[in-house]
């Protein structure tokens, strides 16, 4: 709850908070990065990251999916795999 002040005085009111969570990005199952993001558009973020980092080159993306390993509430949507069917080059650290 927050306290809002306006011409009519002040009152308590609920407020929305922006959430930031980690997201692991995998390329063909291999972890290549973990980044912080506001949830939403995770697949686009994962593919865009792979493109801008040069790890996709000219390889087509077959699918993008969530692949969380832990309890659903904690990690189900925090782990994304970009799948090229093994056609992408092996990432180097």
Model pLDDT for residues 71-92, shown as the tens digit of each residue: 665 667 899 999 999 999 887 7
The proportion of the chain whose per-residue pLDDT surpasses 90, expressed as a percent, equals 57
The proportion of the chain whose per-residue pLDDT surpasses 70, expressed as a percent, equals 91
Residues of the chain with pLDDT under 70: 69-75, 93
- Domain 14-83 adopts which CATH fold? Ubiquitin-like (UB roll) (3.10.20)
Non-local CB neighbours of 8 within 8 Å, separated by 6+ positions:
none
Q: Give the pLDDT confidence score for residue 36 in this predicted structure.
A: 96
Q: Give the pLDDT confidence score for residue 27 in this predicted structure.
A: 95
Q: Where are the domains of the chain?
A: 14-83
Closest-CA residue to 93 (of 3, 29, 31): 31
- Quick one: tokens of 49? 């990251």
Q: Give the pLDDT confidence score for residue 74 in this predicted structure.
A: 63
């Amino acid at each position: 709850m927050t306290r809002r002040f306006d011409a009519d005085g002040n009152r308590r009111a609920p407020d929305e908070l922006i959430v930031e969570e980690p997201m692991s990005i995998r390329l063909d199952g291999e972890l290549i990065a973990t980044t912080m993001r506001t949830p939403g558009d995770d697949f686009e973020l994962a593919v865009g990251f792979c493109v801008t980092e040069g790890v996709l080159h000219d390889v087509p993306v077959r699918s993008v999916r969530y692949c969380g390993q832990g309890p659903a509430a904690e990690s189900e949507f925090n782990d994304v795999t970009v799948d090229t069917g093994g056609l992408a080059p092996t990432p180097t650290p």
